[in-house]
Structure 1
Amino acid sequence: MNKGIFISLEGPDGAGKTSVLQALLPKLAAFDMELVTTREPGGVAIAEDIRSVILNPENTAMDDKTELLLYIAARRQHLKERILPALDGGKLLLVDRFIDSSVAYQGFGRGLDVKDINWLNDYATDGLVPDLTLYFDINVEEGLARIAKNRHHDVDRLDMETVDMHERVRQGYLSILEQDPERMVKVDASHPLEQVIEEAFSIISKRFFK
């Protein structure tokens, strides 16, 4: 049985979850657990290589199912090399995206069968789910406007998606939230960053460090 704590952070593009994750680290350091942070797709060398294939803007011919299977492959390698060792070592693990991203993006966003995605997620993770998922919710237009304003990287393949695609992704997340409200907790990401950080920290503290 895993001895650590597994927290994933999810949200539509522009919700600011990565910024929140980084800001949480000094606050969580006050608790007597070693912190590990990582991301999906990526986190380990093989998964980072897969990430570069997925996001390469030249790969416009990529089929939706191919995209899904690449994410699943990256997840499996990440699980074996990074996630399980951290949990087995009794660490506090924060992961920027995990299984829910595949349901939201490839299921609701791309229109692939959610049942198939759930099966693939379960197969890749041996049934592992986070102890807590923080879902950072934001209006699609506001999220995309944030990305455009703060862009620090070249345009990748997913940056070229339509607003309708991003709307479907958000609805996917809201659907997961409705189905699994105990694991997934909604945070209003439209609030000022400091307020969002404090709310996220409060949720984690009350859940695991009372």
Structure 2
Amino acid sequence: MKLGSFITFEGGEGAGKSTQIARLAKLLRSHGLAVMLTREPGGSAGAEAVRHVVLSGAAESFGAQMEAMLFAAARADHIDQRIRPAIKRGEIVLCDRFADSTRVYQGKVGGMDQDFLKTLERVVVADMQPELTLILDIAPEEGLRRAGLRRGNETPDRFEKETLSVHRKRRKGFLEIAKAEPERCKVIDASLDEDAVAEQVAKRVSDFLMAKNAISEPLVP
């Protein structure tokens, strides 16, 4: 059975993940590759319901552990309903956030017990660990500025509204994960303009897919 690939995008608010995932999907499809776009929290019907609860702030008062458990429930449904079937079909799955966000938001910043978090991830994610994770890195000040422009008059969500010091801790958390898992995680300088970031993304994904013999020549954005 031919298997696809699982690539995740991580980073702080306003890093441009959604924009870059859309550009990468278009590029991959132009090379004749089957691509599925998805996101977390959400991605499946059950998970989207949890997304609304979490981003609205309705679960905030219950603490980081409850949020992590809600994310885990959503992730389990997301994996079963969308990610694993797509991988089995031979598609390249591009996911906007995954387990690394839980590690950072609820773990490194939220103060959750690390053993509990690791156990939760091991049970839920199991064999669906990302093969490549692109961490879009940007100074929180600039990321929040961009997020504000994108949001317009809408109210900031549960995570955007946090203090600058919290956003700085999240950035540090993602960079620590990248340092600990350099084979899987590749840091992208998201402070550059959109085209320059897209070039970095294409290079990293090209290297990954060529190593898997999924493509025979580099991707050119």
So what's the TM-score if we normalise by structure 2? 0.90
Alpha-carbon distance in structure 1 between the residues aligned to 2:112 and 2:206: 36
Is the 2:144–2:160 Cα contact (8 Å) retained in structure 1? no
Q: CA deviation at 1:115?
A: 3.0
Secondary structure of 2:42's aligned partner: coil
Alpha-carbon distance in structure 2 between the residues aligned to 1:160 and 1:169: 13
Query: Partner residue of 1:173?
Result: 174
Write the mapping of 1:179-190 to structure 2, written as runs, cut at 5 A. 179-190=180-191
Query: Partner residue of 2:25?
Result: 25
Is the 1:108–1:171 Cα contact (8 Å) retained in structure 2? no
Q: Does 1:50 align with 2:50?
A: yes
Query: Partner residue of 1:14?
Result: 14
Amino acid at match of 1:72: A
Query: Partner residue of 1:73?
Result: 73
Paired residues in the alignment total 210
Q: For residues 180 and 59 of structure 1, do their structure 2 counterparts lie closer, same or farther at Cα, with a shift above 3 Å needed?
A: closer
Alpha-carbon distance in structure 2 between the residues aligned to 1:97 and 1:9: 6
Q: CA deviation at 1:125?
A: 1.3
Q: CA deviation at 1:2?
A: 6.9
Is the 1:2–1:88 Cα contact (8 Å) retained in structure 2? yes
Amino acid at match of 2:167: H
Secondary structure of 1:10's aligned partner: strand
Q: Which moved more, 1:85-94 or 1:163-172?
A: 163-172
Alpha-carbon distance in structure 1 between the residues aligned to 2:59 and 2:125: 27
Amino acid at match of 1:27: L
The runs of 5 or more residues in structure 1 that have no matched partner are none
Q: CA deviation at 1:60?
A: 4.5
Is the 2:60–2:67 Cα contact (8 Å) retained in structure 1? no
Query: Over residues 85-114 of structure 1, what are the superposed CA-to-partner deviations in whole Å (9 max), with x where a residue is unaligned?
Result: 000111011000111001111111211123
Q: Which runs of 4+ in 1 moved over 6 A?
A: none
Alpha-carbon distance in structure 2 between the residues aligned to 1:104 and 1:157: 15
Alpha-carbon distance in structure 1 between the residues aligned to 2:114 and 2:127: 16
Q: Does 1:203 align with 2:204?
A: yes
Query: Partner residue of 2:86?
Result: 86
Q: CA deviation at 1:202?
A: 1.5
